[in-house]
Amino acid sequence: MAVQTVATTSDSTTVDLGPAAALSCRECGHRVPLGPVFACEECFGPLEIAYDFSAYDTEQLRRRIEAGPANIWRYAPLLPVPADVAEKPNINPGWTKLVKADNLARELGVTGGLYVKDDSGNPTHSFKDRVVAQALEAARAFGFTTLSCSSTGNLAGAVGAAAARAGFRSCVFIPHDLEQGKVVMAAVYGGELVGIEGNYDDVNRFCSELIGDPAGEGWGFVNVNLRPYYAEGSKTLAYEICEQLGWRLPDQIVIPIASGSQLTKIDKGLQELIKLGLVEDRPYRIFGAQAEGCSPVSTAFKAGHDVVRPQKPNTIAKSLAIGNPADGPYVLDIARRTGGAVEDVTDAEVVDAIKLLARTEGIFAETAGGVTVGVTRKLIEDGVLDPAKTTVVLNTGDGLKTLDAVAGTGLTATIRPTLDSFREAGLA
């Protein structure tokens, strides 16, 4: 991927992104001013946001959060956004339900409390709204006027919706042969939706070229040049889970892995809450979940490797199908450091888990949610996950977007409209 490290559209030292102080390289610690850049000029490591939280008083901060809006902007003091972010037009995701899943707990033998963090309640029904909402604020701060991304579906819809609300032009790039349903979901918001003759890798490569070209000037690619800001959106999952548990860390969290960014940012969020004194500092374990058909991180974890070997994805869990996950090594670190694990399940287990969650809790999850629930079940059966501990499982998307996965589900009976026919079918 081409790397651009210099801000081009504004003087990045004057942007107001609240507590965000600079960009800092995750590998070498080199700091640069806030700007639309994503790779370290020294070592090409990934840049992430460095914050200044030094002025915060714990109890004041807690009260300020609790008095905030019922969306991610309640955590504005901990995000790279201006203090008045809630007043600006945005899609305002988050504050989704943390469902106490007692029926599922019974089926899985969990006695310590099982919760599903259900991100299907977001505006476009996936966790992507969280990250796009952040990227949008960065785009605004840097003076961009077009919001863009490469996508295979969920992200395209989130970008289209957020851009529409905020009055940005959007131009989203997708493989030209996506399923019609996904195209419609992305196109309905009225932005430019460009099909690229090629696969997702070709789309990505093209976007990197466009960023380096004058034609891409003024464009914020949420998952490329705005990636450091975008990725921070996943921290809000950690904040919400802890606040919804009564400002308490869960003992165990099961998180799906695509690029691995979400898992690493949830860990970052938990660490921040500890440092800020908003939760008690005690151990928690982080578990990563993959589909067997795209399990590079799980494979490395089980083999005891530090390096993640790329795979060619082949799974129904398409929103997780990243064969070369950028944050894979960081995920391995976190799983090992916290005493967690990374596990995978087959597509058949994914489908079973979708049905299990729907049947027990009335939550219809995307395939990614089937992956986390399926992995949770497997980890319990294998004695890896402790059923006596408080456990949170993420559902990051909505079953309506991956209907094909459960297309075999159907009528339990067909009868004539008479009581006799009803009785004959054994339904009485």
Which parts of 181-200 interact with a copy of itself (CB under 8 A)?
181, 183-185, 187-190, 192-198
Length of the chain: 428
Which structure tokens are listed for 246? 């009564």
Q: Which amino acid, 32?
A: V
Buried b (16+ CB within 10 A) or exposed e, 140-163: bbbebebbbbbbbbbbbbbbbbbb
Binding status of residue 162 toward a copy of itself by CB under 8 A = yes
Q: Residue 105, Cβ neighbours under 10 Å: how many? A: 19
Binding status of residue 167 toward a copy of itself by CB under 8 A = yes
Binding status of residue 163 toward a copy of itself by CB under 8 A = yes
Binding status of residue 136 toward a copy of itself by CB under 8 A = no
Spatial distance between the Cα atoms of 259 and 150, rounded to a whole number of angstroms: 14
Footprint of a copy of itself on 297-356 (CB under 8 A): 354-355
Q: Residue 358, Cβ neighbours under 10 Å: how many? A: 17
Task: Please select the residue that binds a copy of itself; options are 14, 54, 180, 383, rule is CB under 8 A.
Answer: 180
Which structure tokens are listed for 76? 């504005």
Q: Which of 180, 181, 155 is nearest to 170 (CA)?
A: 155
Spatial distance between the Cα atoms of 59 and 310, rounded to a whole number of angstroms: 45
The Cα-based distances of 385 to 90, 342, 345 in angstroms read 38, 11, 15
Least distance (Å) between residue 187 CB and a copy of itself:
4
Binding mask 392-421 for a copy of itself (x = CB under 8 A): ------xxxx-x--xx-xxxxxxxxxxx--
Looking at the Cβ atoms of 43 and 194, the one nearer to a copy of itself is: 194
Listed in sequence order, the DSSP H helices in 257-327 are 261-275, 296-303
Footprint of a copy of itself on 81-110 (CB under 8 A): 89, 91-92, 95, 97, 102-103
Footprint of a copy of itself on 49-78 (CB under 8 A): 70
Binding status of residue 164 toward a copy of itself by CB under 8 A = yes
Least distance (Å) between residue 92 CB and a copy of itself:
7
Task: Please select the residue that binds a copy of itself; options are 35, 36, 160, 288, rule is CB under 8 A.
Answer: 160
Which range of residues in 202-210, 220-228, 273-281, 340-348 is near a copy of itself by CB under 8 A?
A: 202-210
Binding status of residue 124 toward a copy of itself by CB under 8 A = yes
Size of the site for a copy of itself (CB under 8 A): 78
Which range of residues in 3-11, 156-164, 245-253, 342-350 is near a copy of itself by CB under 8 A?
A: 156-164
Least distance (Å) between residue 132 CB and a copy of itself:
10
Spatial distance between the Cα atoms of 354 and 400, rounded to a whole number of angstroms: 12
Residue 217's SS3 state is coil
Helix 328-337 to helix 296-303 angle, to the nearest 10 degrees?
50
Least distance (Å) between residue 124 CB and a copy of itself:
7
Footprint of a copy of itself on 214-273 (CB under 8 A): 215
